[in-house]
Amino acid sequence: MSRRGLLVPAVLAALALTLSAAGCGARQAAADTLVFAVDDEPLVLDPHASPQDSAALFTRPVLDSLVSLGPDGRIEPWLATAWSISPDRRTYTFTLREDVKFSDGTRFDAAAVKANLDHIADPKTQSRLAAHYMEPYTGSTVVDARTVKVHFAKPHAPFLAALSEAFFGMQSPASLRRGPDVLARHVVGSGPFVIERYVPHQEIVYRRNPDYRWGPATARHTGPARLARLKFTILTEDSVRLGALTSGQADAIASVPPVTVRRVRANPRLRVETRPAPGGVYMYLPNVTRGVFADRRVREAFRIGIDYPTIVRRLYFGLFDPAFSPLSTSTPSYDPATRERWRLDRAAAGRLLDEAGWTGRDRQGYRTRNGRRLVVRWPFQRSVAREQRAELAELVQAEARRLGIDLRIGNVSQAEYFPRYAAGDYDLVDYVGRRIDGDMLRNLFATSFISTPDRFGQNGARYSDRRVDGWLAAALATDDQAERADLYARVQRRVMDESAAFPVYVPAYVLGVSKTVHGIGWSPLAYPTFYEAWVSDR
């Protein structure tokens, strides 16, 4: 198809639209409308394709899931009323609600579930996340309108928890058929809200779905949403978002910068809500395959010789908790015992470095071995560093200096970063990743997740241990939560004993919200949800 000549009419149309819109100052929204200022927007909306947290946030109001996840990590009904797993753990049978309709009028049934899962697995969708969460998926069969069977090539225990995420939200099959170009900017589901309009770089506006009466079992509210309208404004600048909240132009804002949390808390009209994010904590990963950190003693010195908890408490004023495990405290299978396994011991760290042969000192006071300085090269992506991670890095750098380690914090762009990362050309990288299952550990430490130029993997430590690989595989094959927790606990202890990760802090979603807003809920991934929200008189 030729797109010649499309540009001019498009420009004229855009001009006409913006010019014709009437303006009037910074108005207050009506009482049944909630304005939420967010700090990020997705490149494409379709959460089946996009890996971005913002895609999940933007589509959650519109999409329901087959199951929901309770606060205790239990799987609860939503669009599926019941499910069973075959003895070989390779087939899931779901029984579905019968009264559910997508907002375009399409009926939700077994064929719709199949269409959604097939859409995620279809290579043409180019899924950057969801397809990976169900990689052994082989297909679905429609038994009858209410019953669908989902098949896997091998057992895949994280599937049910993943299903509760917006990345697996059920979309109207009619909408899915319209293809990626349409799904990139419009998504149709059965959720409590319907997308009214989406203006990239500006805002997304939802209106209430009046027919909604199939909320998740985890919600206290039933029936249609309380809000008639919901609007997300995209304000990437921290100070602007904060100003919008304090001036009442926004009812809630995402990611209150840690430095300003005190100011928001001091404001009598506002409050701050935080929720620790599940998955991988913000951590530093040493390259265990080459360079100075190939020596376990140097890694251990870097782990026990630096007072991460104190740095974190001072920098974030208690907003974020120090981390002691690569898994966040809110992840099922987090091992609390990891907390007891770390103790600051600078003297021991010094001894370890001596043992490793770094006994010399150069003029600047850094340790040397055979005349070469103990340098840790860290390709840091300063331009995308959030939450004062650059300041954090400098505080760690100062403590490393006390140990005689020259921590060199680079400043690389994303484009420069990936080739270096894929080639393992670094001593240290930082990482954080949201996920609601302990299977996160497989992404972080399984041999198959070491990056190559052809495949990105989150195993930044490039850590490879046959026992750890075995535990991680075993945890996929069982649905016994206690057994999985035990396997993941073993992994956490092992990688910490090996100093294959330096956990720094537990990231949290920091929501700034007006006291007139009530009932904001939290998704399992620690994102705010608005189904039960309402606004009292301003």
* 17 contacts another protein (rule: CB under 8 A): yes
Alpha carbon distance 346, 357 (integer Å) = 17
**DSSP type of residue 171:** B
| Member of 33, 93, 147, 249 binding another protein (CB under 8 A) | 249
Residue-by-residue DSSP string for 326-346: SB-TTSTT--GGGGGG----H
- Sequence-distant (6+) residues with CB within 8 A of 356 are 295, 297, 298, 301, 369
Nearer residue to another protein within complex by CB, 374 or 428: 428
**DSSP type of residue 28:** P
Nearer residue to another protein within complex by CB, 14 or 143: 14
Interactions with another protein, residue window 27-46 (CB under 8 A): 27, 37, 43-44
Interactions with another protein, residue window 161-200 (CB under 8 A): 180-181, 183-185, 199-200
Interactions with another protein, residue window 114-143 (CB under 8 A): 123-129, 131-132, 135
Interactions with another protein, residue window 285-324 (CB under 8 A): none
Minimum distance of another protein from residue 422's CB (angstroms):
7
Minimum distance of another protein from residue 15's CB (angstroms):
5
Closest by Cα among 289, 249, 68 to 160: 68
Residue-by-residue DSSP string for 72-99: TS-EEESSEEEEEE-TTS-EEEEEE-SS
Nearer residue to another protein within complex by CB, 88 or 454: 454
| Member of 293, 320, 366, 449 binding another protein (CB under 8 A) | 449
* 398 contacts another protein (rule: CB under 8 A): no
Nearer residue to another protein within complex by CB, 397 or 447: 447
CA R_g for the chain: 25
User: Quick count: other Cβ atoms within 10 Å of Cβ 432?
Assistant: 18
Residue 249 Cα distances to 41, 61, 265, angstroms? 19, 21, 18
| Member of 77, 224, 243, 357 binding another protein (CB under 8 A) | 243
Nearer residue to another protein within complex by CB, 418 or 534: 418
* 153 contacts another protein (rule: CB under 8 A): no
Closest by Cα among 77, 148, 159, 80 to 477: 159
Q: Is 25 helix (H, G, I), strand (E, B) or coil?
A: coil
Q: Is 274 helix (H, G, I), strand (E, B) or coil?
A: strand
* 5 contacts another protein (rule: CB under 8 A): yes
Q: What are phi and psi for residue 311, nearest 5 degrees?
A: -60, -45
* 240 contacts another protein (rule: CB under 8 A): yes
Minimum distance of another protein from residue 416's CB (angstroms):
5
User: Quick count: other Cβ atoms within 10 Å of Cβ 20?
Assistant: 7
| Member of 88, 201, 363, 482 binding another protein (CB under 8 A) | 201
Nearer residue to another protein within complex by CB, 201 or 220: 201
- Sequence-distant (6+) residues with CB within 8 A of 221 are 215, 519, 531, 532
Minimum distance of another protein from residue 271's CB (angstroms):
19
Residue 201, burial from CB neighbour count under 10 angstroms (0-12, 13-18, 19+): exposed
* 26 contacts another protein (rule: CB under 8 A): yes
Scanning 148-156, 412-420, 486-494, 527-535 for contacts with another protein by CB under 8 A, the matching segment is 412-420
* 458 contacts another protein (rule: CB under 8 A): yes
Scanning 104-112, 230-238, 306-314, 348-356 for contacts with another protein by CB under 8 A, the matching segment is 230-238
Give me the amino acid identity at 70. G
Q: How many residues bind another protein (CB under 8 A)?
A: 76
Nearer residue to another protein within complex by CB, 133 or 509: 133
- Sequence-distant (6+) residues with CB within 8 A of 315 are 258, 388, 391, 392, 395
* 21 contacts another protein (rule: CB under 8 A): yes
* 25 contacts another protein (rule: CB under 8 A): yes
Nearer residue to another protein within complex by CB, 195 or 234: 234
| Member of 84, 236, 359, 452 binding another protein (CB under 8 A) | 236
Give me the amino acid identity at 512. G
Residue-by-residue DSSP string for 469-510: HHHHHHHHS---HHHHHHHHHHHHHHHHHTT--EEEEE-EEE
* 10 contacts another protein (rule: CB under 8 A): yes
Q: Is 180 helix (H, G, I), strand (E, B) or coil?
A: helix
Interactions with another protein, residue window 40-79 (CB under 8 A): 43-44, 51
Minimum distance of another protein from residue 451's CB (angstroms):
10
The three-state (H, E, C) secondary structure of 32-76, written as one string = CEEEEEECCCCCCCCCCCCCCHHHHHHHCCCCECCEEECCCCCEE
* 14 contacts another protein (rule: CB under 8 A): yes
* 455 contacts another protein (rule: CB under 8 A): yes
| Member of 53, 203, 406, 532 binding another protein (CB under 8 A) | 203
Nearer residue to another protein within complex by CB, 82 or 384: 384
Interactions with another protein, residue window 414-433 (CB under 8 A): 414-420, 422
Nearer residue to another protein within complex by CB, 12 or 217: 12
Minimum distance of another protein from residue 448's CB (angstroms):
10
